Chain A
């Protein structure tokens, strides 16, 4: 009986000892998961200056790779927006939606810097649709822009939860537009243009 008590006590002691070891180590690594945060919510400040208000979400999937998807509403007629040059004027107060999907490849330097921090390059697909159906004076019924853009960027993480993402990219946009009064035929036009896309996003990571 007394033997089993002693063994139990020894076991208790060793278990407690292990826990205290682990606990003390956990203290050094307890950083509110700042180092393991794999999610970022972003606001594109540069686009907002141009009247395009959007949010995006980036998810890190490995040390090298992340995906980002976003949605924005562009209030037409506010400012010139360098990456999209729609034919015709977009009336003020008209909100046009867009969404994008981006794959980011981060550079790691001997494993010291991982996604989502540091230098990256990315490929982005973006689609924007402008619906002029309710605008009788417009020349078009609908304009759809499909864009593919290659970016190079750098994402700074501060010691807390904030991040800044700056990027510059070049790409091509393919636009399908439908005339409001095509006459006898249901004419659908297609054009393309090259574009430069640059900006800064502010992000919160968690």
Chain B
């Protein structure tokens, strides 16, 4: 049975009173709650058709494509074939390209010392209809431990598929990788094996993508000398490269991204109509992982000329927003005594969103893991050691870059998520881009959502509540937080990492509560 809840009514009077305007520019539609085996894992929403959604699931070593109707109620499960003649293959990925799923699997042949990558096309309208395996890449290896790895990327217009393969690690050897570009009928358009003039120990590939015309772009970081240290006499010991392989691999260009004395901590790139490269990211002034500001560069693909180069240091009050007075004092003291700039720490770029108006929004999240090992002794003096992994997913920062490359604004969304020994299962956030707004969904404790004054009016039970929140971030960098639902009352906690924007104006949320699972759809 499916039912629709109008969020405003569903939230109840309490939230209205507590937070003022809680109207949500979205309609929440729930699917049926259903039970799954304890070990069943929903790995992600992988596709949709006119009448169904598909999720990738994993249970006891078996992968399945699970079909849901448009009302988000489960229908069938389609086992993914990961065997050939009794030989087990490794799952490498699945992607929907138009009306088909491309299932990637690999088999490491110990006799031939080769790792093969296969693609199987599965009809999205009828997943029982699958083609035979097609071999699309192979990697030779010498040692069983290092058999290389595969990756893939689908072009923005879904017309090309890039198969990327990293050659096995060889100590002191050059960085080697290769790629093949296929059309959607799995016809090979071109392929190339690359051996870079950098040692594998000093170069790491960070990203790869294929353009609509079949050109391939690889980004990576090169350390300048043998010591893989970020700092060399106070300036960065590394540069970022974006390598382009155009005209079926005939022409190669190296675009070096070097910010002189600034330490690039994160870099993402996109293509602008195959004419220019748009690179954005964060930089620090210290050699650690801290970020001091943001940058945006556009490079002419033909001439390699830098067309735009903008940097913006975050204001100090922005960096220290949400910090305790003690932390601010400590950071200032460090700056005065040791010359260490005040920076934000442990931020990972999560999204690099290209807007319709030509601008870009970058979203980053503070994420770190803290490991605590404690040893206790019993009455006989026997020690017991326990290691606890603390996962922190904190504030989100958003940076807006306009179509001319100007860094218009930055904003910080306060968030605090802490869990132990679970990999941050219910932490982090998911996004939806709708028109000129960004919607962000995550879980938050009521104590953090309400102000101190509002908390005084709440009961103990209300203070302990957890909400799944919706944040609306507008084009001016202002945001509004609104609770979508109370997790305990609805017996569902959202897993943002497994949720996905599935259409221009819809976001499918996946939730779990012990053995129970449930999907919901936000329609904007």
Contact = CB atoms under 8 A, between A and B. Distances in A.
A25 B87 CA distance: 12
Contacts of B144: 157-159
Given A21-B132, A28-B135, A112 B111 contact: no
Interface string A9-38: 000000000000100111011111011100
B110 A159 contact: yes
**Which has the most chain A C-beta neighbours within 10 Å: B85, B113, B135?**
B85
Taking each of A26, A30, A31, A158, which has the highest tally of chain B beta carbons within 10 Å of its own beta carbon?
A31
A5 interface: no
A6 B88 CA distance: 40
A63 B60 CA distance: 9
Contact of B109 (A21, A28, A108, A112): A28
Tell me the dominant secondary structure on chain B's binding face.
strand
Counting contact residues on chain A (CB < 8 A from B), the size range is 20 to 34
Contact of B86 (A36, A63, A108, A112): A36
B90 interface: yes
A26 B85 contact: yes
Nearest to B135: A28
B116 interface: yes
B58 interface: yes
Given A28-B135, A111-B58, A35 B110 contact: yes
A160 B143 CA distance: 11
A89 B63 CA distance: 58
Nearest to A108: B61
A21 B145 CA distance: 30
B88 A31 contact: no
B443 to A, nearest CB: 25
Interface string A53-93: 00000000001000000000000000000000000000000
A114 interface: yes
Interface string A97-128: 00000000000101110100000000000000
A35 B84 contact: no
Interface in B99-139: 107-114, 116, 118, 132-133, 135
B145 to A, nearest CB: 9
A31 B109 contact: yes
A29 B61 contact: no
Contacts of B84: 25, 29
B91 interface: yes
Nearest to B111: A31
B91 to A, nearest CB: 7
Nearest to A26: B85
A111 B87 contact: no
A35 B106 CA distance: 13
B61 A35 contact: no
A26 B132 CA distance: 12
B498 to A, nearest CB: 15
B385 to A, nearest CB: 16
Given A29-B109, A34-B111, A114 B61 contact: yes
Given A36-B86, A36-B87, A63-B61, A29 B132 contact: no
A25 B135 CA distance: 8
B107 A29 contact: yes
15 contacts: A25-B84, A25-B132, A28-B116, A28-B118, A31-B87, A31-B111, A31-B112, A35-B107, A36-B88, A108-B61, A112-B90, A114-B61, A114-B88, A157-B144, A160-B110
Given A29-B85, A32-B111, 6 more contacts: A28-B109, A35-B88, A111-B61, A111-B63, A111-B91, A160-B110
